[in-house]
Amino acid sequence: MSNHQQIQIGVIKSSLFVIILTFLASSFAYLTRVLLSRTLSVESYGLFYAVFGLFTIVTTYIDLGFGYSIIYLLPKYIKQKNYSKAWNIFAYGQLITLCVSLIISVVLIIFGSSLSRNYFKVPGSEILIYIFCAYLISFTMIYSLTQAFGGLQKEKYYSSIAFIRWFLTVIFLFFFFIFGFSNIVYYAIAFALGHILTATVYLFLFFKKHKFLSSNKVTWEVLTVKEMLTFSLPFLLETIVYSLVLIGDNFFLMLFRGVKEVGIYNIIYPLSSIPIMLINPLTTLILPLVSHLMKGEKEKLRYLLEKILQIFPFIGLYFSLFIIIFPSSLVSLIFGQKWLGLVEVPLIILCLGTTSILMSVILGAITLGTGEVRKKLKATFFASVVDLSLNAFLIWKYGVIGAVITTSLFALMLCFLFTRIIKRAIEFQIPYFFYLKLILFSAAFYLAAKYINIQINNWFELIFFGFLYTIIYVVFGYILKLYNKQLITIIFSGRNTY
């Protein structure tokens, strides 16, 4: 076997490993929602994710952008065998995130009672805030370790952290459920314990496996801090922009509507986002591949972009159409019958925009791959400001319906802006005729399913009809000549040069 083939096989194996573990992590994270939705009331489920959503917003700022500096600078100094500077970079990032998380935790603990009364409007909910502060500190350690392992290019470590933390969280959740402690307080404790244990295990592994780094002393280096700031500030700015969108949905639903509609939104969004959950790991392949093909292989890149604009909408529509046809059946089987009558309409509306949401993620990765970081930031900032304003009004007026409409419009706006940026870097054709075929096929399939009046009442019927649906959809893709060996060749011939 040639050296070229060995490298190619190694790249394929490592890529598949990362994708599989990322998929498993997403699956276990999804399982937590399923367990909570089936064992808590609508209001309790909404309260749990309202509090958890607050901490999710906090975690977006937790490293002040220094995590990106670690990923970028750590391999640089390790390659130069400057281990003392590499250790300082890791230590500075860890110290900053830990200090920020401690400060935020103290602030939230002090104002916990006030938030409970005036924002969450549920007496006693401050206990969740106190528990999630422990989660926040452990999450900070996990996040820093993930960045460090990423900088060290230890894909088995950084890709397994998310899987382990959600796996342990599910284990603790099931433990409390089996022994009769199925309430939001114990579930919050399960989240905290799962993350604390993960942080402990990987911190031990980091120090044990990387003594060439940890054996160095931490020293104060002004130039190193300035170098880290050079990379961290732009990334922090982009994070702040994205957080405007993160704040919108749950924040305004909680502010204007209450825990019930927060609960509804946190049922429909995970269900409609299944294709995004499955496809998101592929962005780790797309970004470096596009960056590589930009250097003298633009014809291959043009072909790749045009195939991406066909394949990913095809996949997104595959999931969305099935949910649109059977919304009540899927919600009842996965999340429980208590949600019937509450989620069907907003779920269908959000599914209509799922493909746009999926494509905004993919096009965002491609935009970064072309090197247009600043233009992407400007486009995202503009779309986020529009989204925030529109979100506030529509949620105030229409509740969860307003939230899903805004989410879909925001994704469409990003798709349009990112496409314009990409077309300036590389010329390609948008397959409008292909999209027309997809729309006509979907409309015909939907009308046929409703005319036949197919009903799904149990898991066996779901699997059976899902299998038939998949066969029909795969055959349709074959008729459209969607599958192509040339695409696979481009992907892995590009990857194996890194």
| DSSP string covering 34-54 | HHHHHHS-HHHHHHHHHHHHH
Asked if residue 14 has pLDDT above 60, the reply is: no
| Angle, vertex CA 123, rays to CA 117 and CA 124, nearest 5 | 115
CA atoms within 13 A on the CB side of 56: 17
State how far the Cα of 147 lies from the Cα of 210, in Å rounded to an integer: 14
Of 211, 238, 254, the last residue of a domain is: 254
Of 210, 238, 254, the last residue of a domain is: 254
Task: Return the closest-CA partner of residue 418 out of 353, 354, 360, 355.
Answer: 360
Tell me whether residue 79 is in a domain: yes
Tell me whether residue 18 is in a domain: no
Q: Looking at per-residue confidence, does 421 or 123 come out higher?
A: 421
For the chain, how far is it from start to end, CA to CA, in angstroms?
19
Of 254, 288, 318, the last residue of a domain is: 254
List b or e across 162-201, with b for residues whose CB sees 16 or more CB atoms inside 10 angstroms.
bbbbbbbbbebbeebbeeeebebebbbbbbbbbbbbbbeb
Tell me whether residue 4 is in a domain: no
State how far the Cα of 237 lies from the Cα of 234, in Å rounded to an integer: 5
Confidence at 347, pLDDT banded by 50, 70, 90: very high
Tell me whether residue 405 is in a domain: yes
> Do 308 and 222 share a structural domain?
no
> Do 247 and 175 share a structural domain?
yes
**Contact (Cβ atoms closer than 8 angstroms) between residue 291 and residue 276:** no
Residue whose token pair is 């937790």: 62
> Do 292 and 151 share a structural domain?
no
Name 417's Cβ contacts closer than 8 Å, sequence gap at least 6: 379, 382, 383
Confidence at 36, pLDDT banded by 50, 70, 90: very high
Between the alpha carbon of residue 237 and those of residues 146, 150, 230, 300, 376, the distances in Å are: 21, 21, 12, 33, 12
- How large is the average pLDDT for residues 331-346? 89
> Do 272 and 155 share a structural domain?
no
> Do 352 and 304 share a structural domain?
yes
Between the alpha carbon of residue 125 and those of residues 50, 92, 255, the distances in Å are: 10, 35, 15
Tell me whether residue 455 is in a domain: yes
> Do 266 and 228 share a structural domain?
no
Tell me whether residue 12 is in a domain: no
Asked if residue 198 has pLDDT above 90, the reply is: yes
Q: For the segment 424-450, what is each residue's pLDDT rounded down to a tens digit?
A: 888 888 889 999 999 999 999 999 988
State how far the Cα of 172 lies from the Cα of 119, in Å rounded to an integer: 29
Q: For the segment 117-154, what is each residue's pLDDT rounded down to a tens digit?
A: 888 888 888 999 999 999 998 988 887 777 777 666 66
Tell me whether residue 9 is in a domain: no
State how far the Cα of 169 lies from the Cα of 421, in Å rounded to an integer: 41
Q: For the segment 206-261, what is each residue's pLDDT rounded down to a tens digit?
A: 877 777 766 777 677 677 677 667 666 666 666 666 666 656 787 888 888 888 88
> Do 293 and 207 share a structural domain?
no
Q: Looking at per-residue confidence, does 40 or 72 come out higher?
A: 40
pLDDT confidence of residue 106:
92
Between the alpha carbon of residue 410 and those of residues 120, 164, 340, 385, the distances in Å are: 26, 33, 27, 10
Q: Computed from CA positions of residues 350, 353, 355, 360, in that sequence, does the dihedral angle turn out positive or negative? A: negative
> Do 269 and 220 share a structural domain?
no
Tell me whether residue 15 is in a domain: no
What is the CB neighbour count within 10 angstroms for residue 115?
A: 17
Considering its fold, how many domains does the chain have in total?
2
Task: Return the closest-CA partner of residue 55 out of 275, 246, 302.
Answer: 246
If you count DSSP H runs as helices and E runs as strands, how many of each does the chain have, helices first?
Answer: 22, 0
pLDDT confidence of residue 401:
93
pLDDT confidence of residue 322:
93
Tell me which residue range forms the domain holding 325: 257-498
**Contact (Cβ atoms closer than 8 angstroms) between residue 390 and residue 406:** yes
> Do 300 and 241 share a structural domain?
no
> Do 247 and 283 share a structural domain?
no
> Do 315 and 226 share a structural domain?
no
> Do 239 and 266 share a structural domain?
no
